Amino acid sequence: MRCEVLAPSKLQRPVGERVKTDARDALHIAELLRLDEIVTVTIPSEPQEAARDLVRAREDARRDLMSARHRLGKLLLRHGIIYPGKTAGTKAHHAWLRQQRALSPPPQPLPMPT
């Protein structure tokens, strides 16, 4: 008896078939099995899973970095501070950022109503 784990998202659906029933799905899967056009799910090995985790962590860190850069750029822009150079993210841009100082004191918190 052949036993395989299938991913529903990987099954090719016939065009125009919108009604979804277990019976139709079973016939469709049987047809794909007969034609040997099934994409089975494989369980990743521990090294593969570790690599996937590392890639996900790198993507998250990269997204966080880009988000922080955009927030900093928008903050400076709101205060009218514009980098005179051409390209952000360079050594010259980082040196310029380190030279920037706050132009106004931070806003004081509003007093609590009594």
Give the percent of the chain with pLDDT over 90. 32
Q: Among all chains, which residue has been given the structure tokens 């521990």?
A: 46
Report if residue 108 sits inside a domain: no
32-63: buried (b, 16+ CB within 10 Å) or exposed (e) per residue? Answer: eeeeeebeeeeeeeeeeeeeeeeeeeeeeeee
Which domain, by its residues, includes 22?
1-42
Q: Are residues 51 and 94 in the same domain?
A: yes
Q: Facing residues of 6 across strands?
A: 40
Q: Does 80 share its domain with 61?
A: yes
Q: What would the pLDDT profile of 79-100 be if each residue is shown by its tens digit?
A: 888 899 988 889 999 999 998 8
38 and 55 part of one domain: no
Is 18 part of a structural domain of the chain? yes
For residue 59, is it within any domain? Answer: yes
Place of tokens 């089975």: 40
Domain count within the chain: 2
State how far the Cα of 5 lies from the Cα of 20, in Å rounded to an integer: 19
Q: Flag whether 66 is in a domain.
A: yes
Residue 32 inside a domain? The answer is: yes
Same domain, yes or no, for 51 and 77?
yes
pTM for this model (two decimals): 0.56
Q: Are 69 and 89 in contact (CB under 8 A)?
A: yes
* pLDDT tens, residue by residue, 31-81: 888 888 777 888 889 999 999 999 999 999 999 999 999 999 898 888 888
Q: Are residues 36 and 54 in the same domain?
A: no
